[in-house]
């Protein structure tokens, strides 16, 4: 058999007989095995050349001859001159002989392992940034909460002193008014703390039927409690029910509200307005979240990781990408809609009826 053409192939190829004796090897074999041709010729059988633990080379070559069909080995670890190679061996029967081809995947496997390591490092870095972003947001919320709570606490403290004085004077009318004011202020504190607890509760909430209008109202109430919506007109229209997590969606809308508030700081807007319209039909539920701020020039980049229009140190560029992932986890979508002025984000959800039918 003339096999000189095999010298042009860049993989080690050998031709052996049924006894495993080496009858031919191509040019690359000498380079691969780090053996000169004269030493290769002296080898009695392929078993002396290829030593792989838990894999019998000759047995598989003979099996290929018996079947009359090629056999491919699993991924094997081959040790040559103290260097480890990851290989796959092909056994191809040819006229009572077997063509043995060695496919070296060492470089590919090494690159794959490095790629996996880089992915793990990137994932860890991403998680650290997300944690940092959450801590920054939490710090802002704590600062806002402490500020908002200090006001009713100061009023309550003054009213307690006033109540003590009125009780000493046995002034029932003034004492009653003091008690009403104290009750109101403590209810206000309780509501602020309650909203904070709702936001920081574990996110492993089961998917259930939710009123999306109620979710938005809760997000607005949270922002209102932190005095973030001062001087901003809110317009909320429509109502619909979907399947989702109320807590996760509340986090999304708090993020959108906060983005609008930050955008208002960028421009001199006299009448600041946030409009949220809920529309539903048999095919989808659409929520349009709009503000009349300065808008965004590169709206197509809004959902890119780490892209932010805020000043250095004021934003991580993760809020909208994370919000988009949350919406997509409920088989919905979050996208930007171009407007002549202001910003508009469109949230699409599958309607409850369609989900039930599916």
Which CA distances in Å does 90 have to 7, 17, 99, 110, 183? 17, 15, 8, 21, 84
Which of 104, 128, 153 is the endpoint of a domain? 104
Residues 164, 72 share a domain: no
Q: How many domains does the chain have?
A: 3
Last residue of a domain, one of 168, 200, 232: 200
Task: Report the pLDDT value the prediction gives residue 200, as an integer from 0 to 100.
Answer: 53
Q: Percentage of residues in the chain with pLDDT exceeding 70?
A: 80
Helices H / strands E in the chain, number of each = 10, 13
Q: Is residue 222 domain-shared with residue 257, that is, in the same domain?
A: yes
The pLDDT of residue 180 is 85
Q: Are 74 and 132 members of one domain?
A: no
**To 10 degrees, what angle do helices 246-266 and 319-328 make?**
150
Nearest to 65 by CA among 42, 37, 40, 95: 95
93, 215: one domain: no
pLDDT for the residue 358: 47
**206 with 353, same domain?**
yes
Q: Which sign, positive or negative, has the C-alpha torsion 332, 336, 338, 339? A: positive
pTM metric for this prediction: 0.47
Q: Of 322, 251, 354, 334, which Cα lies nearest the Cα of 286?
A: 334
Q: Does residue 212 share a domain with residue 73?
A: no
Q: Which structural domain, as residue segments, surrounds residue 25?
A: 4-104
Mean pLDDT of 110-126: 81
What pLDDT is recorded for position 202?
47
**Does residue 254 share a domain with residue 163?**
no
Per-residue pLDDT, averaged over 259-264, amounts to: 85
Residues 89, 128, single domain; the answer is no
Listed in order, strand segments (DSSP E) in 169-231 are 208-211
Q: Over 50: is that where the pLDDT of 312 sits?
A: no
Report percent pLDDT > 90 for the chain: 15
Structure-token pair, residue 308:
């932010």
Shared domain check, 205 and 324: yes
């Amino acid at each position: 058999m003339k096999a000189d053409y095999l010298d042009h192939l860049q993989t080690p190829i050998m031709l052996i007989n049924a006894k495993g004796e080496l009858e031919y090897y191509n040019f690359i074999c000498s380079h691969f095995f780090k053996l000169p041709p004269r030493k290769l010729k002296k080898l009695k059988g392929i078993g002396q050349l290829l030593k792989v633990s838990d894999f019998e080379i000759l047995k598989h070559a003979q099996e290929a001859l018996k079947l009359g069909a090629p056999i491919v080995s699993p991924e094997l670890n081959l040790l040559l001159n103290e260097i480890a190679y990851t290989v796959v061996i092909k056994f191809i029967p040819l006229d009572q002989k077997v063509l043995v081809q060695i496919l070296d995947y060492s470089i590919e496997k090494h690159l794959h392992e490095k790629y996996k390591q880089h992915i793990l490092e990137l994932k860890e870095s991403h998680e650290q940034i997300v944690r940092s972003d959450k801590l920054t947001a939490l710090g802002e919320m704590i600062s806002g909460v402490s500020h908002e709570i200090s006001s009713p606490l100061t009023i309550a403290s003054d009213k307690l002193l006033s109540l003590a004085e009125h009780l000493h004077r046995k002034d029932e009318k003034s004492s009653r008014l003091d008690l009403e004011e104290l009750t109101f202020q403590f209810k206000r504190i309780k509501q602020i703390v309650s909203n904070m607890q709702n936001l920081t509760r574990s996110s492993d909430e089961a998917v259930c039927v939710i009123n999306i209008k109620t979710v938005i109202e809760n997000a607005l109430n949270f922002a209102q409690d932190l005095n973030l919506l001062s001087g901003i007109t809110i317009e909320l229209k429509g109502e619909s029910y979907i399947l989702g997590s109320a807590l996760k969606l509340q986090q999304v809308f708090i993020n959108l509200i906060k983005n609008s508030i930050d955008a208002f700081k960028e421009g001199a807007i006299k009448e600041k307005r946030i409009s949220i319209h809920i529309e539903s039909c048999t095919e989808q539920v659409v929520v349009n979240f709009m503000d009349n701020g300065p808008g965004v020039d590169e709206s197509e980049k809004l959902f890119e990781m780490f892209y932010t229009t805020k000043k250095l140190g004021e934003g991580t560029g993760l809020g909208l990408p994370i919000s988009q992932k949350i919406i997509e986890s409920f088989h919905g979508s979050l996208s930007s809609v171009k407007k002549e002025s202001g910003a508009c984000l469109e949230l699409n959800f599958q309607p409850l009826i369609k989900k039930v039918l599916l």
